[in-house]
Structure 1
């Protein structure tokens, strides 16, 4: 029997103000508590986001942001954007995604790795390329575990 999991998402960005206000204005709904990392980076869970929510948030705040939308805690869809318009997409838990019949060719690995490294550098972070690649190709019971591992691989200070 499969237990229903998280179908919301998480947003990671740097913010010195009230992140929840920025998120609501950008189209995020049912915003949960924020976990502070270090150097102003924060991770906030949310129930839903509109199709332009990430772009709206980055435009408002003028800071890089990374969003992971979860499908029943099994799969994570990554979207990341920098203020200068550089973006990348990726997929967490590729093997399980395949069982959902999600077309993996829509989420090619090499562009995701390159995009992740460029996003991290643009955010002033120091990524670990091997760890990023491993995170984007490995499996875990919950996609949220891989999301946390990705933040560490991207070099976010205080991520564990």
Structure 2
């Protein structure tokens, strides 16, 4: 059985683990520090408003990927001014789970990802974002890592399976 938790990426001062717990995340692993204050932490569960609570508290953009058995990733991005976007990773596998792809249209996801990245002060690679949101991988965590790189997160490295 694969990973069914999630991953949160944000720029936060202070202990990300404590900030996440206060925002409603549960089963939080130790945060990985990237660069320029960006951190990534895996979690087992998140409440419906956990990411919004975290963004409101920290005043920084956040990106959350919820994993379904390491096969599919549901992406949500949120900025402090309330702009949000959604995307889907491993679309081909999502179809096999009968997840309606029309609920996750590609063009709004690409536009949202690029706007999120710019709002976070990053420089995204539009073609790489598009490839990530349309690509497939044995483990969706690979696409999640590729998305961080495509969004321009400093210090992000793509996992090699």
TM-score (norm 2): 0.97
Match in the other structure for 1:142? 139
Distance in 2, Cα, partners of 1:135 & 1:26: 28
Deviation at 1:33, TM superposition (A): 1.2
C-alpha deviation, 1:107, in angstroms: 0.3
Structure 1 residues 54-77: Cα deviation after superposition (integer angstroms, max 9, x where no partner): 101000110000000000000000
Alignment match of 2:38 (pick from 41, 46, 55): 41
Q: Does 2:123 match 1:132?
A: no
Counterpart mapping for 1:8-157 below 5 A: 8-157=5-154
What do the CA deviations read for 1:89-133 (whole angstroms, capped 9, x no partner)?
000000000000000000000000000000000000000000000
TM-superposed deviation, 1:51: 0.6
Say which SS state the counterpart of residue 156 (structure 2) adopts. Answer: coil
1: distance between equivalents of 2:40 and 2:19?
Answer: 13
SS at match of 2:129: helix
Matched pairs, number: 157
**Structure 1 regions of 5+ residues with no counterpart?**
none
Deviations 1:29-58 (A, max 9, x none): 010011100000000000000111110100
What RMSD, in angstroms, separates the aligned Cα atoms of the two structures? 0.4
